[in-house]
Amino acid sequence: MGSTPTEVMAFPNIRAIVRDNGTAEVIVAGNSRIVPAGDSVQELRNNALALIVGEAQTLQRPVRVRIEDPEGHGELIVHPDNKIESVSYEPTPARRRAEAPETTPKAVVPAIIETVPAPAPAPASEPVATPAESAPAPAPAAPVDAQPWPPAPVAADTVPGPATPEPQTAVVAGEAAPTRRSLKETSFLVSAPVLEPATQGWRGTLTRLGLRMDPSEEELSEREDIRTVSQHWPGPRTIAVVNRKGGANKTPTVVMLSAILARYSGAATVAWDNNESQGTLGWRTEKGAHDRSVLDLIDASTELLSPSTNAAEIAKFVHHQTADKFDVLRSDENEEGDHEVTAEEVDIAHQVLTRYYRLVVMDSGNTARAANWRRMIDHTNQLVVPVTAIEDRAEAARLTLQTLESRGGHDAELARNAVVIVSESTDAKRSMSGEALKRAKDEAQRIADGFAPFVRAVVRIPYDPALVNGPIRYEALQPATQRAWLAAAAAVAAGF
């Protein structure tokens, strides 16, 4: 399929000039290349096109070419596969006059043009024809992407004459009439991104030593995941991390997704512990200089939603993670309190947070029937279901998805487009047995394969001791674990 003129850059500037003295040249960005001699004008054209095809193959894209020859001037699109498209072609004034009907008014032409021999006039009973038209009539015009240089001549009786004489500009012998195009049709910008050299592995080592190497497939895949999680989307996005079984890795998943999305995208990100009473997100993250929780934020919602309140005021209620660049909204940790967050309070807190943050990552309790759990789902754009490679956690994850699917509508759509994150069991790692490690990996793969047909994406996470106890830090993870969580975050972001 041929390219349209607007799709092909006019950079570099390429001209092909064929002269009637048997010489020709191709000029690329001001650099002249002599075209091999030929026995005819057409052979010179073909030799010039061969040089231009080589330029298109070097650039690996079609190029735009201005052509000039003794018969006319115009523009071509030349493709690397040797396909030629004719964009325009106009005969020289002398040739155009010879091809025009006798009824065309004569225009004043500079005397120097008269040095170009015109064909002998035909009898009055016959239409005027050029030498090329003395041959049998040409076949119907070929498609635009198959036209030669120059295009096949048009029969004289199909060329309409102007209603009034048109002034002509003086033309020096051997040069084509000047033409003008709109500047909107060209650009000097290079649209294709430049592939950065390798930075990892032995390819990266050679690049640092001065020998530029292209990145490996693994590095290209990592770059694509980084690009995906670095996007900004119009409007806020809410991620819900759910599993009806405790110990399924919900809180570490919330922390890791928040850390990666905040680090790479730079978007304001908050991790919200939406447990109906007391959750553990506050225990696994860095504490700020206060003890405020979601209940305090709800109490101050009127002030926080006021147009006169500035963005920095939200820091009174959230706990900033200094290394991983996201904030945490804790659940109520008052041991003597018995308040359970209601659906209406979820609405209020979500309204406040989406005013101050682009990304909201919600931890959850274990009761899918709870009012705050169900209202969380109403606000969710992307569902994430973490599971460890233990069968009861996997079964709880399946039942969670089944419950949402059975509700239909938005809930069912979330279940179908969910991302399941399967983490290897910690029990096998503690035993340090080779057989136990193999069983753990096999079980993780079995569970991942079991979920794959029913959700949008499944990602496996290797065991990492930095996720087991204490505050979670992205930099504390092993490189393989960091890479796996980046892939998980990219799978989540792809659903936005």
CB neighbour class for 81 (10 Å; exposed up to 12, middle 13-18, buried from 19): exposed
Amino acid identity of residue 133, one-letter, is E
Separation CA 226–CA 239 (nearest Å): 18
pLDDT at 431: 54
pLDDT at 118: 43
Strands (E), 63-207: 63-69, 72-78, 84-91
Q: Of the candidates 107, 104, 108, 99, which has an alpha carbon nearest to the alpha carbon of residue 127?
A: 99
Give me the residues of the chain with pLDDT under 50, please.
1-2, 96-147, 153-167, 169-171, 428
Stretch(es) of the chain classified as CATH 3.40.50.300: 230-493
What confidence tens digit (pLDDT) does each residue in 365-404 have? 999 999 999 999 999 999 999 999 999 999 999 999 999 9
pLDDT at 99: 47
CATH placement of domain 230-493: 3.40.50.300
* DSSP letter, residue 230: T
What confidence tens digit (pLDDT) does each residue in 419-453 have? 999 998 765 455 556 777 788 889 999 999 999 99
pLDDT at 437: 77
pLDDT at 240: 98
pLDDT at 340: 87
Q: Is the pTM of this model over 0.85?
A: no
pLDDT at 138: 40
pLDDT at 430: 55
pLDDT at 254: 98
- DSSP-derived secondary structure for 171-226: --TTSPPP----GGG------SPPPPPP-SHHHHHHHHTT---PPPHHHHHHHHHH
Long-range contacts of 296-300 (CB under 8 A, 24+ apart): 297/329, 297/349, 297/352, 298/345, 298/348, 298/349, 298/352
